[in-house]
Structure 1
Amino acid sequence: MIMSSCRDAETVMDAVEFILENFTEMNKLWVRMQLEGPGRVREKREKERSALQELVGKNLHVLSQIEGVDLEIYKETVLPRVLEQVVNCKDDLSQYYLMDCIIQVFPDEYHLQTLEMLLAAFPQVQPTVDIKTVLSPLMDRLSKYAASSADVLTEFLQVEAFTKLSNAIEKVIEMQVDMPAVGAITLYVSLLTFTLRVHPDRLDYVDQVLGACVKKLSSIPKLEDRWATKQLVALLSAPLEKYNDTVTALTLSNYPRVMDHLDNGTNKVMAMVIIESIMKNNTCISTADKVEVLFELIKGLIKDLDGATDELDEEDFKDEQNSVAKLIHMLYNNEPEEMLKIICIVWKHTMAGGPKRLPFTVPSLVFSALRLVRQMQGQEGDIVGEEVPATPKKIFQLLSQMIEALSAVPSPELALRLYLQCAKAANGCDLEYVAYEFFTQVFVLYEEEIANSKAQVTAIHLIIGALQRMNVFNVENRDTLTHKTTGYSARLLKKPDQCRAVYACSHLFWVDGQDGIRDGERVLLCLKRALRIANAAQQMASIARDSSGPLTLFVEILNKYLYYFEKGNKQITAAAIQHLIELINTEMQSDSATSDAFLASTLRYIQFQKQRGGVMGAKFESIKL
């Protein structure tokens, strides 16, 4: 048995030796065959060399198939002899082909156990050999092999595969000084892919790969190769895709340093990829330091980068800024102090972006700050001191600065809406002087910045709606604000707009659920004033021979009368309603107007109330239709 085993071993070694000799001679002949001479000779020589190349590869394939060629024989005999031939032949085509054959025909287990020996040959090949197309498949095969079982993964840890691969790539790049940027970056992409598959928990390894890439890129003045740029985007995208968590990428110190080497256009593209990853995975960025890193990463979207000369596409710009606005809502921390730090960091970066970006980003930031205010609602507004930096008062001061910057863009209509939102929030915090100051800013904007008549109408109704909900003001302050509002309403350009704004102001003097705001006389004054304006509009319409508009105004005012009549306003009597109905009927007859659906519906409502009986029915009974 022992003698038989020895004979078998000798036979295996004889076969190995024979094939290795055959391989060596064939490879030498292949290298010596140069493609020179006249056209026909060169063509014939090329066919011969191609056939010989195939035979060289078959020798290695046969070696891998011989029974008895185990890891020990491969490690001690086969690989050293083949690598010796690879290094000594000094032919770039042969070296590339042989290295590729080794990787393809021998088992992954053998590559792992002889990794140091195999990698040592790469820096010794000719500088013209495209190393990336050989090393990258090797790393890909090894990473897939590592994922095959837990035991295999343990072997990878034992042989320190990452360290060996990293060192080999560094030596190759060092030896091949003329290697194009795309080649080096592709190697780092493959190494990073290997690392993320084999060592996903080792963020230090990931950061090390990024750092090595930064070192290589620092020697390149400017990355202009589009394929190199594409590979760099792949390098940056890999951690995002692996972890599905942008927060992880924010912990990598070299991540932003890699992004700095992207051109302005690609930097913006990568920034969009980062934001999309955050939105897709619903990632909440919850600490100020991570927000700082994040906004440094996406700086291509939030400000004009140095050297940016490309013409700005308006649609692309809007999409980018809307993405940044959405991102702001993903920044949140339950701790008020930390959340205020986050808001301040975002505001700092937002201000650096210039006025054209503010209309997109400031509203999101304002609402983020208002969310914090509502979270803190009930705290004392006058708390001061560094120990409690986050107070409603301090946040409102910051909000005022934000909206003031927005109004200077100018974007007065948007600023007005945001001031009103802040006033409502101050009302919830019982900060009367703060709410009053916001309304003051609203009126300043209205008087000085909003000149368009349609915008004025919209603004007035927004002001009325906001003021109606305020319950923080004392009598004097509320009277001042309502007086201003009714005055602006009566001075709108068009009579119908005046009329509607004035009767809307009546709600400022009659607010359900708030004691003390039920001033029936002033409600009636608003409605009578609206009637006078409607009459003036009717006279102007008569001259223009148009009776449809004013009639609608009268019916709208009638509905306001009915509303306050039901609410129990004693100043609004059934007789007044009766008089208004008769007035409308008279106008319809005198102007030969067609029946009005709005009026008909209103009259049916009155009839319904009369028929329902009870207290309300009794109130409506005296109204004659």
Structure 2
Amino acid sequence: MLISLSWTSFEFDLYFYLFDVLDMRAFDELRKLEMFFKDESKHGCSIVDLYELVQHAGNILPRLYLLCTVGSVYIKSKEAPAKDVLKDLVEMCRGVQHPIRGLFLRSYLAQISRDKLPDIGSEYEGDADTAMDAVEFVLQNFTEMNKLWVRLQHQGPVHAREKQEKERSELRDLVGKNLHVLSQIEGVDLEMYKDTVLPRVLEQVVNCKDELAQYYVMDCIIQVFPDEYHLQTLETLLGACPQLQPTVDIKTVLSQLMERLSNYAASSAEVLPEFLQVEAFAKLSSAIGKVIEAQVEMPVVGAIALYVSLLTFTLRVHPDRLDYVDQVLGACVKKLSGKAKLEDSKATKQVVALLSAPLEKYNDIVTALTLSNYPRVMDHLDNGTNKVMAMVIIQSIMKNWTCISTADQVCFSLFNPLF
């Protein structure tokens, strides 16, 4: 029975809760049923006959749960190639299109198949293309689950959308587990990730046009796959960002990506040449500019937060490139140009963080004075925040015993708005 749009919020909550509880109970019972199916002496049917027999069950949902359970035993028996059984199961599950029921069914399929994928080195490994078969199965299950998850927002009463989104968010891990499984497949090397996995996942992300799904899946991609893969596919990953819905919190996604890449760069000196080779800074800077341009409703504080993250990345990965640092400050000046003095407390805190970062990194106010865009950023601060920055600069001078040896440095325009 489909959930009626006329249902009350209480009825929807009760349905949601009971389905979740029953699914967990059902999974425990199905594990016992699987053990029963494995012992042919208890039921007297060969696994091939059993696989055929359960397909005649009257109701589609029990039929497919039974089929997945018997299919798991069928794969273990090795009487048929694992890839053929998995392909059959993932396609048969399309018979359940109810969002919640379909999600839990496919989640069960993902769980029982996780250790039976025809991966390289697996006991179920087949021909030379075995890893691709495993990847195709997981990608197909992920795509169908994401579609069901997105459709879930249209279930239940219209007036309870906010609560429904919270409940839908609680189911996100069911979808994300597919990406975790993909990251664990031995056959998914950099080449396969670049040519097949990432493009297919990003295609689904962009096309679903759902704020919650886009944010969550992008975050999953960044968290579950190796840093090396992100660096080598940076252009592809960043290319999807401007195509996301304007309401997606892309600044958090990009900030997490830059933090991971920064940590990766700091892990070994041998990694740094890779960042130069792929022109990581240029690609990140360009992507941030496109995102800010595409999301016209993004508040100033969000844009500045992106530049703070980019500057932090730059100072950690390319500390010797003062031109990169000045370029980030210049982009911030461009964003702030034509606007009145900043009065938003959150935005001013971000600007203070932006201006403080070079001082903390170089421990030298003289180095900051060489950045032409440093004073231009400060021009957009009100008098009160300028005094705060003056204290930050003075404290940096005193802490590091900085010697300002020339009159030109003392009279640098940086200090004009301060004193």
Amino acid at match of 1:260: D
Distance in 1 separating the partners of 2:225 and 2:311:
24
- The Cα RMSD (Å) is 2.3
Aligned partner of 1:261 in structure 2 is 380
- The reply to whether residue 145 of structure 1 matches residue 264 of structure 2 is yes
Matches within 5 A, 1:81-96: 81-96=200-215
Change (3 A) 1:40 1:109: same
CA deviation after TM superposition for structure 1 residue 31, in Å: 1.0
1:297 aligns with 2:414: yes
Letter in 2 for 1:218: S
Which one of 238, 242, 256 corresponds to residue 361 of structure 2?
242
> 1:78, 1:189 → 2: CA distance?
31
* Deviation sequence 1:34-66 (CA, Å, 0-9, x none): 266449987995576345421111111111011
SS of corresponding position for 2:298: coil
Could you tell me how far apart the structure 1 residues matched to 2:135 and 2:340 are?
A: 51
State the secondary structure of the residue aligned to 1:261: coil
Report the structure number with the largest CA radius of gyration: 1
Q: What residue identity is the alignment partner of 1:94?
A: A
**1:566-625 deviation digits (Å, cap 9, x = unpaired):** xxxxxxxxxxxxxxxxxxxxxxxxxxxxxxxxxxxxxxxxxxxxxxxxxxxxxxxxxxxx
Length-normalised TM-score, structure 2: 0.67
Distance 2:360 2:163 in 1: 50
CA displacement at 1:298 relative to structure 2: 3.4
SS in 1 for 2:129: helix
Structure 1 residues 87 and 285, CA gap change in structure 2 (3 angstroms)? same
- Asked whether 1:33 is paired with 2:152, we answer yes
1:79-131 Cα shifts (integer Å, max 9, x gaps): 00000011111111111111111001111000000001000000111111111
Aligned position for 1:215 = 334
Alignment of 1:129-168 (within 5 A): 129-168=248-287
Cα-to-partner distance string for 1:456-476 (whole Å, 9 max, x where unaligned) = xxxxxxxxxxxxxxxxxxxxx
Q: Sort the Cα spacing of 1:261 and 1:41 in 2 relative to 1 into closer, same or farther, 3 A.
A: closer
> Is the contact between residue 292 and residue 298 of structure 2 (CA under 8 Å) also seen in structure 1?
yes
Give how far 1:227 is off.
Answer: 0.8
Distance 1:33-1:157 versus aligned 2 partners, 3 A rule: same
One-letter amino acid matched to 2:378? M
Query: Residue in 2 aligned with 1:281?
Result: 400
CA distance in 1, matches of 2:402, 2:127: 63
Whole-Å Cα distance in 2 between the matches of residues 5 and 154 of structure 1? 39
Is 1:191 aligned to residue 305 of structure 2? no
Shift in CA distance, 114/273, structure 1 to aligned 2, threshold 3 Å: same
C-alpha distance in 2 between matches for 1:175 and 1:221 = 22
Pair 1:200 & 2:292 matched: no
Closer/same/farther in 2, CA of residues 44 and 217 from structure 1, 3 Å limit? closer
Q: Once the 2 structures are TM-superposed, how far is the Cα of residue 301 of structure 1 from its aligned partner?
A: 4.2
Query: 1:450 maps to which residue?
Result: none
Contact 1:36 1:42 in 2 (8 A): no
What secondary structure sits across from 1:147 in the alignment? Answer: helix
Counterpart of 1:606 in structure 2 is none
Question: Given the two structures, how large is their TM-score scaled by the length of structure 1?
Answer: 0.46
Give SS of 1:34's match. Answer: helix
CA deviations on 1:219-254 (whole Å, 9 max, x unpaired) are 433322111110100000000000000000000000
- Kindly provide the CA deviation profile for residues 298-337 of structure 1, in whole angstroms up to 9, marking residues without a partner as x: 34442xxxxxxxxxxxxxxxxxxxxxxxxxxxxxxxxxxx
- Tell me, in whole angstroms, the C-alpha distance in 2 between the residues paired with 1:10 and 1:221: 61
Q: Which residue of 2 aligns with 1:104?
A: 223
CA contact (8 A) 1:268 1:300 kept: no
**Paired letter, 1:297:** L
Give the deviation of 1:67 after TM superposition.
1.3
User: Does the C-alpha gap of structure 1 residues 87 and 271 become closer, same or farther in structure 2, counting only changes over 3 Å?
Assistant: same
Q: Does 1:65 align with 2:198?
A: no
Identity %: 81
Instruction: For residues 189-228 of structure 1, give each alpha carbon's deviation from its aligned partner in whole angstroms, at most 9, with x where no partner exists.
Output: 0100111011111000000000000000114333221111
- Distance (whole Å) between structure 1 residues aligned to residue 304 and residue 160 of structure 2: 40
Provide the residue aligned with 2:390 in structure 1: 271
Superposition map of 1:166-565 within 5 A: 166-293=285-412, 296-302=413-419
Structure possessing the higher relative contact order (Cα contacts under 8 Å, 6 or more residues apart): 2
Give the number of equivalent residue pairs: 298
Q: Please state how far the C-alpha of 1:141 moved relative to its aligned partner.
A: 0.8
Alignment of 1:78 onto 2:197: yes
Q: Is the 8 A contact 2:342 2:381 kept in 1?
A: yes
Aligned to 2:232: 113
Aligned partners of 1:140 and 1:194 also within 8 Å: yes
Shift in Å, 1:289: 2.5
Classify 1:131/1:44 alpha carbon distance in 2 versus 1 (closer, same or farther; 3 Å). closer
